[in-house]
Amino acid sequence: MMPSLLGSNYKWCVATKFPGGCRKQNIFKNMLITRTPLRISIAGGGTDLPSYYQKHGGFVISAAINRYVYIALSRSFTPDYRLKYSKLELTDTIDGIEHRIIREAFRMHEIQPGIEMVSVADVPAGTGLGSSGSFTVGLVHALHALKQRPVDAETLAKEAVEIEMNRLSEPVGKQDQYIAAYGGLTCQEYFADGSVKISSLGMSDVAVRELREGLMLFFTGYSRNASELLRDQKSKSLNNDSQMLDNLHFVKSLGLRIKDALENNNPDAFGELMHEHWLHKKRRSASMSSQQIDDAYEHGRAHGAIGGKLVGAGGGGFLLFYTRDRRRLRRAMNEIGLHEMEVGFDFDGSTVLLRG
């Protein structure tokens, strides 16, 4: 649900997907809003970093979920930049913008003063659901819409990658930007020359529904900044650390096995491979997990979860499980204070919800 700062009738307008109603009420005149999905990483996470794929090629399976980052833009009557996210900024120059992603996106698109931007999200940052990539994709989408320029998902992903990875030198991979732009259940192949091949996971509608019904997300209560974990992986990969490279090689091969399991409608095998993935992922860093997270994971495994893992780079956020017994697992996790966040899949990718 969107906060009241965008208007008390926003929830109704978005929930019904009837922006015409908003226009008739003149609530969002001269405003545009983008909606960009967050994601869960299904397989291959870590092989989307250039420190790995530039030498070995990468493979990731991601799923966009129906939890979102919203970006609202409108023209203001004063010659400055008014930015509202977790904090409020007011400045009259691009160089004066503190938020690094906003600053570089505005610079890339040559956005002049006289603009107001508001960002809100369904889930806090630092919880492993790719919020930074979704924010960047949603912002560049809004800037294209502001200038009334048609744009495709590939361009959105590339511009977001350019901002985060090249201009800001963040130690991130590409999967978050691509899944946010494209949506759906996607396979992403990364090549040494920097190109990316996107394809849909070859599952029937019945298999997709079965997968959705078996996946459950539980918040661990811990949010984190994954940068240090990713910098450590980058450094070790660039220095040809054999343990790190062997781990990532295995994770990539496991991703291909997970693809086969899902496309052959064998979700139980997928759950078992998730467990195998998590055991190997934890070996990348001592900071990947914690005793509390390990205990919660084992509790889930003992109460109906076939497999699971911590979503994202590690250190905190959401535990993702696959189960055939949702009620039993939900009850068991509630007993230890972890509550489910129900999600479905998003097949739209980044969209413009409203053009005022």
pLDDT along the chain (356 residues), means of 10: 38 42 51 96 92 95 98 94 96 97 98 96 90 97 96 98 96 95 98 96 94 96 66 76 89 96 94 92 79 94 95 80 97 96 97 88
Q: Considering the chain, tell me which residue range(s) the CATH 3.30.70.890 domain(s) occupy.
A: 205-335
Q: Which two tokens stand for residue 87?
A: 């904090």
Q: What is the topology classification, in CATH, of domain 4-202+345-355?
A: Ribosomal Protein S5; domain 2 (3.30.230)
Question: Is 39 in contact with 130 (CB distance < 8 Å)?
Answer: yes
Q: What is the pTM of this model?
A: 0.89
Q: Where in the chain is the domain with CATH 3.30.230.10?
A: 4-202+345-355
Neighbour tally for 315: CB within 10 Å: 22
DSSP bridge pairs for 115: 75, 81
Per DSSP, the three-state class of 192 is coil
Q: What is the pLDDT of residue 40?
A: 96
Class of domain 205-335: alpha beta
pLDDT of residue 323: 97
* 84 φ, ψ (degrees, to nearest 5): -125, 115
